[in-house]
């Protein structure tokens, strides 16, 4: 993800940094959510819903089209639905 954000395009650079104790960039890339992270948006690339998910105003849960990804997405969808999170879905075409 770090490499992709650096090479995305010069005109649309996304300021970011890898997860650390003293982050200053608006986008943090990491695999563990520390209590210290303060952000409005979480893009969850993990298999599970983080325990600190309610700290974020928005959560993006990207999923693939294979059956395993879809099943994981269904479990997370149900988690959010059962807890009253507002849910919006967006279908993105493969073509």
Q: What contacts 40, CB < 8 A, 6 or more positions away?
A: 56, 57, 58
Q: What contacts 38, CB < 8 A, 6 or more positions away?
A: 55
Helical ranges in 1-95 per DSSP H: 2-7, 67-82
Which pLDDT tens digits describe the chain residue by residue (95 residues)? Answer: 778 777 777 777 778 887 766 677 777 777 676 665 667 788 888 888 988 888 888 888 988 889 999 999 999 999 999 999 999 998 877 66
Q: What's the pLDDT at 52?
A: 83
Q: What's the pLDDT at 40?
A: 79
Q: Is the dihedral of CA 63, 43, 29, 26 positive or negative?
A: positive
Q: Is the dihedral of CA 77, 55, 8, 11 positive or negative?
A: positive
Q: Where are the domains of the chain?
A: 1-30, 37-85
Beta strand ranges found along 6-87 (DSSP E): 16-18, 27-29, 41-43, 58-60
Q: What's the pLDDT at 95?
A: 64
* Residues 53/65, Cβ–Cβ less than 8 Å: no
């Amino acid at each position: 993800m770090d490499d992709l954000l650096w090479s995305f395009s010069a005109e649309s650079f996304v300021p970011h940094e890898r997860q650390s104790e003293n982050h200053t960039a608006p986008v943090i890339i990491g695999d563990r959510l520390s209590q210290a992270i303060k952000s409005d948006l979480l893009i969850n690339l993990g298999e599970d819903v983080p325990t600190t998910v309610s700290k974020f105003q928005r959560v993006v849960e990207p999923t693939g089209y294979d059956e395993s990804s879809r099943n994981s997405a269904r479990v997370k969808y149900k988690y959010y639905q059962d807890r009253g999170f507002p849910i919006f879905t967006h279908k993105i075409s493969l073509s």
